[in-house]
Amino acid sequence: MQNTAMFWVGITTLLLFTLTIMVAMDFPFNWVFYLTVLGQIMIVYMVYRVLTENYTTEKTFEDFYEDCPISERLY
């Protein structure tokens, strides 16, 4: 994923986190309702952007985790 998809992930997460705080602080219902609808639309768009992102990698399942390669494990 390049910056465009990660931008939408960050913005959507920030909106939904802010919405959670607004609910806890007992904001008016109309604010919470409209932000919930906007958040649901943003989730659908975010998933679309992530899944259609032109992303390629050279990694395979043989690489496993980068910080602990299988070839260097001690059993």
pLDDT at 57: 75
Counting beta carbons within 10 angstroms of the beta carbon of residue 58, is it exposed (0 to 12), middle (13 to 18) or buried (19 or more)? Answer: exposed
Residue 14, pLDDT score: 97
Query: Which residues form the domain of 65?
Result: 3-72
**Residue 12: count of CB within 10 angstroms of its CB:** 21
| pLDDT given at position 8 | 92
Number of compact structural domains in the chain:
1
Query: What radius of gyration do the chain's Cα atoms show?
Result: 19
**What is the full per-residue pLDDT of the chain (75 aa) written as tens digits?**
446 888 999 999 999 999 999 999 999 999 999 999 999 999 999 999 989 988 777 777 666 666 666 666 655
Closest CA to 15 of 43, 39, 47, 51: 39
